[in-house]
Structure 1
Amino acid sequence: MSIVKTFISRMGSSMKSISKSDISESTANLPSVTRNHMAHQVEDVLDERPVLAQLQETIESTTEKLEKMEESERFLFTRISKYRTMLAEEEMRVHNGKDISNEEKERLIRQNEKYQQQIYDVMDIHKNILVNVELLRRKLKDLEEKKADMLGKFEECEEFVVASAKFELESPSDESMNQEEHLEMGVLKRMDSDEDRHVL
């Protein structure tokens, strides 16, 4: 899920100068040019909601796979327990049976040894399934944490866009930028160029 990691990183870098504890106050303290520039970046990130849908699909498919694996694990555990009980009873019958000939006893012992080996084979399969169940559980937990992280960042981004739009509506309109704003815009453009080169 490298696309999800990249996406979360993008969301974080877009909001890096905003305090999570008070997004509205942090937004108010930003210069207008910076706020507008960040708002455009954040809106681009919010347009990528399909990433969240893809993550949800992965969670659902992983959950389904885990449920099937757990069902197989329970089935094999029950069968192994049942076979071991039956084999133990058969061995007691062979060793305690007085009306069984020596040849019959030897045949039953060989047969029981064969069954025992088959049980060991099934036990190996069961162990492998247990390992896969644990791996799937960890993967699912990781996916759920990523989803929660993404949802939290989406909320932060949406809150910032709303706050930014509010301040733009409340601030007086001035079409001519002062020298400081021009300088700030140049710095922002250079930062974007540096980030693009770093990504490439």
Structure 2
Amino acid sequence: MSHRRLVLVALVLIVVGGLGYAGLRTAYHHAKDQRDLADLTRTSPWPREQLLVPDGVTRPGTVGWLERGGLDIAYPLRTADGRAVPVLWRLRVPQPATGLPDGVDCDTPRLRTCTDLGGRGTLIVTHQTDNSDPSTAVYRTDGGRVRAIEVQGPDPVEVDDLIAALTRVHPPSDVELLDLLRHDGYQTDWS
């Protein structure tokens, strides 16, 4: 074999080997993502296709948790006046008696003020107590789920901004769910 042929054969072997390695690596990462997604969503009260997330939620500073009680997402809500206010958006399992999530009770007027917004939901203002900061939240029953959004502390947010965050939702893609739920340092047995 001539020197040129040897170089050409070696080059072809390197290219084919590199493509094979890239294909195997892509398949490995895809399989790992699917295993991680299955692990991160296994305790969900709903199938993945029934989950909802607010539009535009995957931006820096966003983190989510999914467990037996539902999905919680902490993110900076962009308000109508351009501010980015930290909020907690939730998709929770409702209590049978009230239709609100566990721990939310409108029967304590000194602690909470509840206002029925009709089809738009329930506005709940939690007043400052010894163990919690004041907060404003809107809850909306959605079949066997309750959507909620809450802002704590002194940053006022218009009710219409909160309602918009509850209304503008979509089912997340697998990539969005992984971005929300797979936090830094997350490891599985196969990581």
Q: Which structure shows the higher strand fraction?
A: 2
Q: Which structure shows the higher helix fraction?
A: 1
Q: Which has the higher contact order (CA 8 A, sep 6+)?
A: 1
Q: Given the two structures, how large is their TM-score scaled by the length of structure 1?
A: 0.28
Q: Given the two structures, how large is their TM-score scaled by the length of structure 2?
A: 0.29
